[in-house]
Amino acid sequence: MEGLLRLRLALVFSVVAHLSLLVRSSSLSSPELQIVNAERRIDLTSHIVRVYLTLKVENAGTSPASEILLAFPPTQVDRIALVKATATVGKKKKKSYLPLDVNPTDLPDAPNGTKYFSIAFSNPLGMGESVTLEVFYTLTHSQEPFPVEISQSESQLVYYRDSAVILSPYHIKQQITFIKTPSTKVESFTRVEPTDRAGIELKYGPYDDHPPYSFSPIIVHFENNNPFAVVEELVREVEISHWGSLQITEHYKLVNAGARHKGIFSRVEYQSRQSLSGVSSFKHLLARLPPRVHSAYYRDDIGNISSSHLRTDSRKSEMEIEPRYPLFGGWKATFVIGYGLPLQDFLFESPDGRRYLNFSFGCPLAETVVDKLTIKVVLPEGSQNPSAVVPFPVKEHLETSYSYLDVVGRTVVVLEKNNVVPEHNSPFQVYYNFNPIFMLAEPMMLASAFFLFFMACVAYLHVDLSIRK
């Protein structure tokens, strides 16, 4: 009798537990998907943090899933510059990658203000099916220098904050994180067992069976002497002239965003002991330009800066620029780079009769972050219906600018974007309509002006205005 009562109680209890489990699981945001295996590689070798995430996702639910969510803590999401995702298709030798759409989303009941990016599957993931996704995202300004101020002979140490466990709205069965530092000098790192360190790689994991939204913060304090070149503001002006050339002018405000330089700057130490002194400063910057560049100049407010080299070959041009002084932490420099390019490499005609400019977005300087990028495409006079097609979200508006021999003004398409990294250097297009008759506008204007002037002279000389004969 008693045993039967206990058995019935246990049965009721388990039923209630299962029911509650069911209820709880159904109230979560996306209950069906489960991450079987997650591997994350964080690359800290440059001042731009690059994270490669490999997720093996399984649909353990009852209905096909069309998207998967990536979660980020609110402090990190402001600094994300780029998120890309591809799906791996095929087995070992015949792997191919399909790019997938990634969009930021928001869920109303997100715990602690988590922000999400949703990746849409190319075909919905059926029940019991699994797929492997490769996600890549970059973070800027995520390595904060500590100590905040260093002297000339010290090297730069930075903090990187993240979580040992991948933040995700799904249950992760198995996960492991690798962190790669630029050198073997790591001051300290938070241990979340099992943690291991070998040379330049830190391993966190493998961790098993972590519930959704688990987060364990870690801090890695390491040395990073790579140049922290940040362009605070970049204005790129691309002027299209149908007479055969494209003229580009770029205005830079460059700063060294590493640990601020305090105290003296001794030139003798900088010049004599280069490996020990000013290790976190940089002197050279490399700008990668398209081939066949001509009339390149490099100047600032004061005048021409003579320390630059331009090397061209048939596939690319490289301009190595040296600001007037080496940039230590917190030091700024502003300059203007300009160059011309042949128009036939960049201006094309689309099948529907509109012309379009195919040019690369982003900053030509290598390994630099741009806080605020503005690209202005100045279309020739008489262009109509301008529109821009850019592979990532930008703010767009139109302006008018007046240049030589302009009557109505030229339309300018202005594109603005914050937080630009070198991975953004992909081509974008600006479409516009242009009636070829308008090419004659300028020469006709000049010719008619001179013609009228000469006619007036001739008339004046031959007109007889005398009153008396």
Binding window for other proteins (CB under 8 A); candidates: 181-189, 329-337, 340-348, 393-401: 329-337
CA–CA gap between residue 458 and residue 141 (Å, rounded):
70
Cα→Cα distances 431→182, 308, 323, 341, 347, Å: 43, 35, 36, 19, 10
Given the structure tokens 């630059």, which residue do they identify? 308
Judged by beta carbon, residue 283 or residue 288, the one nearer other proteins is 283
The answer to whether 321 and 296 have CB atoms below 8 angstroms apart is no
303 binds other proteins (CB under 8 A): yes
Count, residues near other proteins per rule CB under 8 A: 22
The CB-of-292 to other proteins minimum distance in angstroms stands at 26
Candidates 134, 223, 232, 300; binder of other proteins (CB under 8 A) is: 300
Binding window for other proteins (CB under 8 A); candidates: 115-123, 224-232, 304-312, 420-428: 304-312
Three-state DSSP state, 452:
helix
275 binds other proteins (CB under 8 A): no
The answer to whether 138 and 81 have CB atoms below 8 angstroms apart is yes
Nearest Cα to 367, choosing from 434, 420, 330, 435? 420
x/- contact string, 365-404, with other proteins (CB under 8 A)?
----------------------------------------
Write the Ramachandran bin of 144: left for phi over 0, alpha for psi from -120 to 50, otherwise beta. beta
CA–CA gap between residue 306 and residue 291 (Å, rounded):
22
Candidates 155, 334, 360, 387; binder of other proteins (CB under 8 A) is: 334
CA 200-202-208 angle, 5° bins: 155
The CB-of-443 to other proteins minimum distance in angstroms stands at 36
Binding window for other proteins (CB under 8 A); candidates: 7-15, 190-198, 265-273, 451-459: 265-273
272 binds other proteins (CB under 8 A): yes
H and E: helices and strands count for the chain: 4, 31
Binding window for other proteins (CB under 8 A); candidates: 48-56, 171-179, 327-335, 441-449: 327-335
Candidates 208, 301, 313, 464; binder of other proteins (CB under 8 A) is: 301
User: DSSP assignment, residue 304?
Assistant: B
Residue type, 367: E
193 binds other proteins (CB under 8 A): no
DSSP state letters, 37-74: EEEEEEE-SSSSEEEEEEEEEEE-SSS-EEEEEEEE-H
The CB-of-331 to other proteins minimum distance in angstroms stands at 5
Binding window for other proteins (CB under 8 A); candidates: 11-19, 187-195, 208-216, 263-271: 263-271
The CB-of-307 to other proteins minimum distance in angstroms stands at 8
206 binds other proteins (CB under 8 A): no
151 binds other proteins (CB under 8 A): no
CA–CA gap between residue 61 and residue 52 (Å, rounded):
27
Q: Which two tokens stand for residue 210?
A: 């972590």
Nearest Cα to 240, choosing from 424, 372, 375, 374? 375
320 binds other proteins (CB under 8 A): no
284 binds other proteins (CB under 8 A): no
Q: Which residues bind other proteins (CB under 8 A)?
A: 263-268, 271-272, 300-303, 305-307, 324-325, 330-334
